[in-house]
């Protein structure tokens, strides 16, 4: 079985490469579509995201957990999960089209929603969850690279001006299909040919098992995208575009969270099964890793928010710097929530996970409804961060009731290293952004190593898991 460290390396390399392409695509779209067009794309993509989560309904998480425990189940699960997700995607796409018909928005926005509805269907046939459960992350990485690089190339050549707005979801749908094809080709030699017929008998049991996870996923998506949705509905698309620029930068940094939970979930599932007495050690190590990975990005983005926005998106988006300074703190909060939430799921505590999510998202919805009318895009940023912090309080309390993480004094090392980095970056903030980032990264790395923030023993725990 491939070790978690090797899987993390594969996944991080692939995810980083794919996110770089996604980052470049975002920059191209922001410059070529303008603030209004970029706001329209952000709004329509946020609506699509709800459809994608409805298509999943926790099925892929249950599938990942089952394959991680017994890989021989892969074929039967694919025969049940894929057709069920396809059916759910048709329902979700129809709902999005209906929303487009009744929504009092300009015709281009309506057509964007219709085209993104088609992309929901395409995403329902992606086999990623099988390879994640089997811990074969190389294929997951390859699929994501193909998808994001294909999307970048298509956008680069097709989307030349605001008049090409409707080609954006077309390019996205084609690129997603390319990534899905990569996984389909890789599936058969490793797990046998895909089942030749739909297996309907296990749908009820699958939905019952995945129900709490699916409901929690829908609520989480509501929380994450509610700011974009409410700004698109109640504010101008220019305000939506300003928020979307900062949101996309943070989304790029969320590569760290995605890699973390994708690798951590099958690992913690195996620890609970085979080495439950070492769970506290695993969770403590994961907490140190989260601090070491996320805090320097937050500090750097907070200090350099204005020049980063100007460099990536153009000077028209510089006004988003207060939003970015707030929104970047969503990263560590989300990673800690992933740690707590996926540990609960690995232990089979789906209903507790759902309860925590429902309460946290309910509070976040209230925050958004109050903050957005008062402060627009800045209010949306405050609401999403406050909501994630509230959710972490609930998830953290549940995690501590299950396990007491093994922590050491060196857990604070990333914070001390980040403080040293902050001093250097602040003093050099007037120089070139790349130079400033380079000196800051060097300072952080040196202090982290000297303070033993991450050691070979930490890596060894994951490798031997």
The segment with the largest mean pLDDT, out of 124-133, 348-357, 381-390, is 381-390
**Residue 344, token pair as written in the block:** 């609960």
pLDDT at position 404, please?
84
Cα angle 287, 292, 297 (rounded to 5 degrees) comes to 125
For residues 30 and 313, is the Cβ–Cβ distance under 8 A? yes
CA neighbor of 283 nearest in space, from 458, 64, 66? 458
CA neighbor of 51 nearest in space, from 121, 146, 138? 121
Distance CA 380, CA 378 (A): 5
For residues 338 and 260, is the Cβ–Cβ distance under 8 A? yes
pLDDT at position 95, please?
93
Distance CA 108, CA 118 (A): 16
Which range has the worst mean pLDDT, 56-70, 79-93, 356-370, 388-402?
56-70
Residue pointed to by tokens 């895909």? 194
For residues 437 and 314, is the Cβ–Cβ distance under 8 A? no
pTM of the full structure: 0.72
Alpha helix locations (H) across 192-254? 203-234, 237-253
CA neighbor of 263 nearest in space, from 282, 250, 235? 282
Distance CA 415, CA 418 (A): 5
- How would you class 420 by CB atoms within 10 Å of its CB: exposed for 0-12, middle for 13-18, buried for 19 or more? middle
**pLDDT higher than 90, residue 24:** no
- Residues 408-439 have pLDDT tens digits of 777 788 889 999 999 998 998 877 888 888 89
pLDDT at position 181, please?
87
Distance CA 235, CA 159 (A): 25
Cβ–Cβ contacts within 10 Å for residue 389, how many? 17
**Residue 339, token pair as written in the block:** 């740690």
Please tell me which residue, 296 or 281, carries the higher pLDDT value.
Answer: 296
Cα torsion at 239, 242, 246, 247 (round to 10°)? 50
pLDDT at position 303, please?
92
**DSSP states of 259-276 as a string?**
HHHHHHHHHHHHHHHH-G
Q: In sequence order, what are the residues at sequence separation of 6 or more whose Cβ sits closer than 8 angstroms to the Cβ of residue 358? A: 215, 216, 219
**pLDDT higher than 60, residue 199:** no
Cβ–Cβ contacts within 10 Å for residue 397, how many? 11
- How would you class 104 by CB atoms within 10 Å of its CB: exposed for 0-12, middle for 13-18, buried for 19 or more? exposed
**pLDDT higher than 50, residue 169:** yes
CA neighbor of 299 nearest in space, from 452, 444, 451, 455? 444
Give the domain ranges of the chain.
1-201
Residue pointed to by tokens 């725990």? 461
Q: In sequence order, what are the residues at sequence separation of 6 or more whose Cβ sits closer than 8 angstroms to the Cβ of residue 88? A: 54, 55, 56, 57, 124
**DSSP states of 374-439 as a string?**
HHHHHHHHHHHHHHHHHHHHHHHHHHHHH------GGGGHHHHHHHHHHHHHHHTTTS-HHHHHHH
Residue pointed to by tokens 């405050």? 382
**pLDDT higher than 80, residue 448:** yes
For residues 141 and 15, is the Cβ–Cβ distance under 8 A? yes
CA neighbor of 369 nearest in space, from 223, 271, 238? 223
- In three-state secondary structure terms, 328 is coil
pLDDT band for 164, please (50, 70, 90 cuts).
confident
**In 22-175, beta strands by DSSP E:** none
pLDDT at position 134, please?
67
Please tell me which residue, 395 or 316, carries the higher pLDDT value.
Answer: 395
Which range has the worst mean pLDDT, 8-22, 119-133, 267-281, 387-401?
8-22
**pLDDT higher than 50, residue 2:** no
**pLDDT, average across residues 215-229:** 77
């Amino acid at each position: 079985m491939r070790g978690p460290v090797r899987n993390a390396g594969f996944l991080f390399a692939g995810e980083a490469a794919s996110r770089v392409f996604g980052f470049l695509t975002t920059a191209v779209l922001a410059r070529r579509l303008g603030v209004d067009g970029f706001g329209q794309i952000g709004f329509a993509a946020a609506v699509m995201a709800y459809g994608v989560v409805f298509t999943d309904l926790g099925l892929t998480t249950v599938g990942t957990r089952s394959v991680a425990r017994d890989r021989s189940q892969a074929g039967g699960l694919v025969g049940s999960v894929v057709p069920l997700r396809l059916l759910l995607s048709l329902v979700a796409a129809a709902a999005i089209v209906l929303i487009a018909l009744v929504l009092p928005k300009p015709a281009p926005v309506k057509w964007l929603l219709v085209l993104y509805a088609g992309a929901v269907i395409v995403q329902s046939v992606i086999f990623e969850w099988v390879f994640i459960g089997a811990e074969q992350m190389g294929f997951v990485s390859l699929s994501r690279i193909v998808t994001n690089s294909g999307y970048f190339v298509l956008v680069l050549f097709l989307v030349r001006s605001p008049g090409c707005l409707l080609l954006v979801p077309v390019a996205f749908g084609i690129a997603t299909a390319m990534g899905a094809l990569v996984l389909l080709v890789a599936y058969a030699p490793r797990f046998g040919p895909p089942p030749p017929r739909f297996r309907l008998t296990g749908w009820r049991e699958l939905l019952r098992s995945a129900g709490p996870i699916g409901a929690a996923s829908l609520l989480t998506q509501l929380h994450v995208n509610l700011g974009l949705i409410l700004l698109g509905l109640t504010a101008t698309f220019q305000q939506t575009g300003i928020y979307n620029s900062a949101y996309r930068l943070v989304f790029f940094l969320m590569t760290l969270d995605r890699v973390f939970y994708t690798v951590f979930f099958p690992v913690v599932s195996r620890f609970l099964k085979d080495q439950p007495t070492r769970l506290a050690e695993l969770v403590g190590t994961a907490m140190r890793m989260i601090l070491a990975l996320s805090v320097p990005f937050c500090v750097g983005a907070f200090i350099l928010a204005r020049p980063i926005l100007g460099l990536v998106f153009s000077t028209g988006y510089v006004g988003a710097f207060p939003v970015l300074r707030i929104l970047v703190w969503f990263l560590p909060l989300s990673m800690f929530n992933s740690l707590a939430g996926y540990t609960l799921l690995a232990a089979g505590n789906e209903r507790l996970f759902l309860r925590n999510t429902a309460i946290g998202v309910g509070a976040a919805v209230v925050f958004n409804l109050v903050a957005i009318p008062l402060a627009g895009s800045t209010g949306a940023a405050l609401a999403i961060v406050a909501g994630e912090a509230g959710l972490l309080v609930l998830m953290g309390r549940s995690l501590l009731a299950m396990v007491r993480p093994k922590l050491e004094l060196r857990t604070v090392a990333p914070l001390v290293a980040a403080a040293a980095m902050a001093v250097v970056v602040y003093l050099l903030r007037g120089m070139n952004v790349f130079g400033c980032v380079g000196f800051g990264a060097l300072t952080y790395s040196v202090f982290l190593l000297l303070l033993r923030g991450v050691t070979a023993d930490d890596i060894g725990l994951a490798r031997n898991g």
